[in-house]
């Protein structure tokens, strides 16, 4: 049983016993001494008894009661006994109500003496004492430890969800420490019994409230919500100073369009635009994390609190088709796309609601009353899951989310709160641009909201946002100084450039030529500088670099074409094509190690790698990515999930491969480019099958130690997705599927045996609109969906089995988000 539910039930039972003792004492005074004043007290106690009895809700899962341990079964039985006693007592008290007319007091006294004999009172008292002793006996040191472990889990989950309950959970744990200390010291002394029972009930109720908040917040959150944000490059040092009016930070000031003025004003929208690759997303990420943004927003807020939220659209991939040429047929492959919610209106709204509520979780109960009721009802919790998912799905559609966000803003506006949203990449929205423009318009109508948006300068966005010169900027008009600073910084740290004899006389002219040629496209500059560094290693002079510059294409697509069809060695083209098509088709960014296995033969036997072998393969595949793709594909480190991805497993799973920039994907998806690259690989190459085989090999060669298992179940989920998408469905692929399930099941059993947890998502899970899979919720020990397996037996005397809390705390301190 969920430890906090068990504790809440125990607190209710003890409070009921305390109230019943008061009832017995009062009725004895009435019977023995005939005191009339106790009659009124008796009525008050009766009402209190009714309330206490109503609180005793016995949580017996319909199909899992036999799975409870002995202590849980005992507590459930004690709760049932108390309900039975309450029914008997309340029936007696009903008869004791004073009737109108006659000598009401004498009648009352006579009924009381008839209904409640001294021997029966003594028997009831003894029965209550036995129940109280049994409840107290249940809370051994081992059982108390379970509650404290549960609070540690709440604390870690609070960090993972980035909720604002950290100090509240610490305070709650302190309260529990004092409670258990009081219980352990009380012994036979019952003078504090009622007070301790009340504390027990209140503290466990608060803990269950935090559990419910986390369940509902997790339901709103969608998988890989922050991948796009994490993959955007941070601003290079000393860049973007011009945005805040720094006279040394840009080639010209924002003049009437000064961004600071917008932050401090009541104007509700600012538009950041610019050419592809000019740094719009980097600027938006900088704005969201920059402390000065919040400082200037405080002027606008005029003493109110400001809550900021961000959303970074991710370009859809399901508009493309890959033609596979088999021996006798052509097959069109569609792609369901990566992170569908990340490119939809629902994804935007869910992200904003999630970010607001993790900062104000106290609103969750008000905004989602039905979900809250389901999460706080301890009865029939197994059958509640499909109901909760169905209700959540209704609440998380477009209209439901808009309504929720509107109510959220209205509620918080009354409590002196304002909002600023940073929404990047409107041009990456999947669907009609007019739809997302309309959605932004609806957000602008919310109370106390201002919005900063970014997009490419498409006609639709120019029409909607480009007419106001004081509330827009084009990146290429202001980033020239940033580009110069970036080039100087790279060259100043390049040992070959520093050795050039003519760097002082011609270096500045070279930089100016690069800036002029770039036309504000920062990505183009990054590619040029990389090319120059290769030339410097080959002994090029500045004059030769200038000549090299004049031969380079001036547009990004032209540059990508040069890289692919000029710079990539013929020998590496087959591997480059495999990597490109796999990355284009992957359900989500794949682990770096999976790319090592592309084209490798599947091992006949399981051969776990040592960490030395793993490190060697990681280094090898990084070099192969550079040789084959020339920087157009890059590994990005993704911070481990502190619950699902143990830190030692990060080298296996947390370096993910993605395109250097969205424009690379755009170029590769051009029909002409795709057809040319496909010539580099066999006609029947199936990227889905290649992904399945690579993931299978990675799982089959993973180390045997549980701390390295990481999110292996997630790899299985990706494997199954691509199995279903493969047009070939070869016999070999069919045979791999049961083997993959068997390996992952084996990993999960081993991990659960040694750590008490699983590695994340259920093997067959596909995330629904309601949130994560059932296994993930069980892993988080969420009481609202399923009963949590107990970590210890009643006889345990050693440390409880379960998650390593010291590891969680270390991870939590290291991996906490830096965003505000």
| pLDDT at residue 517 in the model | 96
Return all residues near 269 (Cβ < 8 A) that are at least 6 apart: 440, 444, 450, 451, 452, 453, 465, 471
Q: Which two tokens stand for residue 94?
A: 């009903």
Per the CB < 8 A criterion, the answer to whether 638 and 227 are in contact is yes
Q: Looking at residue 768, what DSSP letter applies?
A: B
Domain range summary for the chain, segments of one domain joined by +: 3-220, 227-477, 480-552, 567-789
Helix spans in 726-804 (H): 731-755, 774-779
What is the dihedral angle through the alpha carbons of 588, 594, 598, 601, rounded to the nearest 10 degrees? -130
Cα gap 77→72, rounded to integer Å = 9
CA distance 335 to 818: 34
Locate tokens 């795709």: which residue? 674
Burial of 275 (0-12, 13-18, 19+ CB in 10 A): buried
Which has the closest alpha carbon to 146: 777, 805, 811, 751?
805
Quote the CA–CA distance of 202 and 210 in Å, as a whole number: 13
Q: Enter the tokens of residue 545.
A: 């670099």
Whole-prediction pTM value?
0.79
The tens digit of pLDDT for each residue in 212-221 reads 999 899 888 8
CB 764 within 8 A of CB 724: no
The class that CATH gives domain 227-477 is alpha beta
- pLDDT of 191 reads 55
Structure confidence at residue 621 (pLDDT)? 96
The answer to whether the beta carbons of residues 419 and 309 sit under 8 Å apart is yes
State in Å, rounded, how far the first CA of the chain is from the last one: 37
According to the model, what pLDDT value does residue 763 have?
32
284: number of CA atoms within 13 Å, CB side? 32
Residue 341 DSSP label = G
Please give the pLDDT value at position 165.
93
Ranges under pLDDT 50 in the chain: 60-67, 100, 188, 249-252, 256, 318-338, 759-820
**C-alpha dihedral, 533 to 535 to 539 to 544, nearest 10°:** -120
* Cα torsion through 588, 592, 595, 597, rounded to 10: -120
């Amino acid at each position: 049983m969920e430890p906090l539910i068990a504790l809440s039930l125990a607190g209710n039972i003890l409070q009921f016993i305390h109230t019943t003792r008061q009832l017995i004492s009062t009725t004895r005074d009435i019977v023995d001494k005939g005191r009339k004043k106790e009659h009124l007290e008796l009525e008050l106690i009766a009402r209190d008894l009714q309330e206490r009895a109503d609180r005793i809700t016995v949580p017996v899962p319909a199909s899992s009661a036999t799975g409870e341990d002995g202590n849980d079964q005992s507590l459930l039985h004690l709760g049932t006994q108390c309900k039975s006693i309450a029914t008997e007592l309340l029936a007696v008290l009903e008869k004791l109500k004073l009737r109108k007319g006659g000598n009401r007091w004498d009648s009352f006294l006579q009924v009381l003496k008839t209904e409640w004999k001294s021997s029966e009172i003594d028997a009831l008292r003894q029965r209550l004492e036995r129940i109280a002793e049994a409840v107290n006996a249940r809370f051994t040191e081992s059982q108390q430890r379970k509650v404290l472990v549960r609070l540690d889990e709440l604390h870690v989950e609070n960090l993972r969800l980035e909720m604002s309950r950290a100090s509240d959970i610490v305070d709650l744990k302190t309260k529990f420490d004092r409670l258990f200390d009081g219980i352990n010291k009380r012994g036979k002394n019952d003078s504090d019994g009622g007070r301790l029972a009340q504390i027990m009930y209140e503290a466990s109720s608060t803990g269950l409230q935090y559990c419910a908040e986390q369940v509902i917040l997790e339901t709103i959150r969608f998988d890989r919500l922050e991948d796009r944000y994490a993959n955007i490059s941070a601003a290079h040092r000393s860049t973007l100073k011009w945005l805040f009016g720094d006279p040394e930070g840009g080639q010209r000031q924002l003049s009437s369009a000064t961004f600071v003025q917008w932050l401090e004003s009541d104007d509700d929208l600012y538009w950041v635009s610019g050419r592809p690759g000019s740094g719009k997303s980097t600027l938006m990420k900088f704005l969201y994390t920059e402390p000065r943004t919040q400082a200037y927003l405080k002027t606008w807020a005029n003493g109110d609190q400001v809550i900021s939220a961000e959303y970074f659209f991710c370009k859809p991939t399901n508009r493309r088709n890959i033609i596979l040429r088999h021996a006798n047929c052509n097959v069109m492959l569609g792609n369901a796309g990566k992170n569908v919610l990340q490119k939809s209106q629902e994804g935007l709204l869910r992200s904003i609601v999630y970010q607001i509520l993790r900062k104000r979780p106290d609103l969750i109960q008000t905004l989602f009353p039905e979900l809250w009721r389901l999460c706080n009802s301890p009865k029939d919790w197994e059958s509640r899951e499909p109901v909760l998912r169905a209700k959540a799905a209704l609440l998380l559609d477009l209209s439901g989310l808009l309504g929720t966000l509107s109510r959220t803003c209205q509620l918080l506006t009354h409590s002196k709160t304002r909002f600023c949203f940073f929404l990047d990449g409107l041009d990456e929205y999947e669907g009609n641009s007019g739809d997302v423009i309309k959605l932004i318009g609806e957000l602008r109508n919310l109370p106390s909201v201002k919005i900063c948006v970014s997009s490419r300068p498409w006609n639709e966005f120019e029409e909607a946002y480009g007419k106001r010169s004081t509330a827009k900027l084009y990146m290429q008009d202001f980033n020239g100084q940033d580009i110069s600073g970036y080039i100087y910084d790279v060259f100043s740290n390049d040992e070959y450039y520093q050795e050039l004899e003519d760097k002082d006389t011609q270096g500045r002219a070279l930089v100016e030529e690069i800036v002029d040629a770039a036309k504000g496209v920062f990505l183009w500059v990054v590619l040029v500088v990389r090319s120059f560094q290769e030339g410097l290693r080959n002994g090029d002079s500045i004059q030769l670099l200038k000549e090299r510059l004049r031969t380079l294409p001036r547009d990004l697509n032209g540059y990508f074409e040069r890289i692919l069809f000029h710079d990539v060695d013929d020998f590496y083209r087959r591997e480059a094509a495999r990597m490109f098509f796999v990355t284009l088709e992957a359900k989500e960014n794949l682990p770096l190690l999976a790319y090592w296995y592309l084209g490798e033969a599947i091992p006949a036997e399981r051969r776990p790698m040592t960490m030395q072998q793993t490190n060697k393969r990681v280094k090898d595949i990084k070099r192969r990515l550079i040789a084959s793709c020339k920087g157009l594909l890059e590994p990005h480190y993704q911070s481990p999930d502190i619950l699902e991805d143990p830190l030692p497993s990060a080298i296996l799973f947390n370096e993910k491969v993605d395109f250097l920039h969205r424009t690379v994907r755009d170029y590769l998806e051009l029909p002409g480019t795709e057809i040319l690259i496909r010539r580099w690989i066999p006609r029947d190459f199936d990227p889905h099958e290649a992904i399945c085989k690579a993931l299978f090999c990675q799982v089959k060669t993973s180390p045997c130690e549980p701390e390295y298992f990481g999110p292996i179940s997630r790899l299985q989920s990706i494997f199954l997705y691509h199995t279903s998408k493969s047009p070939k469905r070869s016999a070999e692929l069919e045979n791999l599927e049961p083997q993959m399930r068997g390996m992952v099941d084996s990993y999960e059993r081993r991990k659960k045996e040694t750590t008490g947890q699983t590695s994340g998502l259920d093997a067959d899970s596909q995330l629904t609109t309601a949130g994560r899979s059932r296994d993930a919720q069980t892993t988080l020990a969420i009481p609202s969906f399923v009963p949590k397996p107990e970590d210890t037996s009643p006889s345990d005397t050693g440390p409880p089995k379960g998650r390593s809390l010291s590891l969680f705390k270390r991870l939590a301190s290291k991996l906490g988000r830096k965003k505000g």
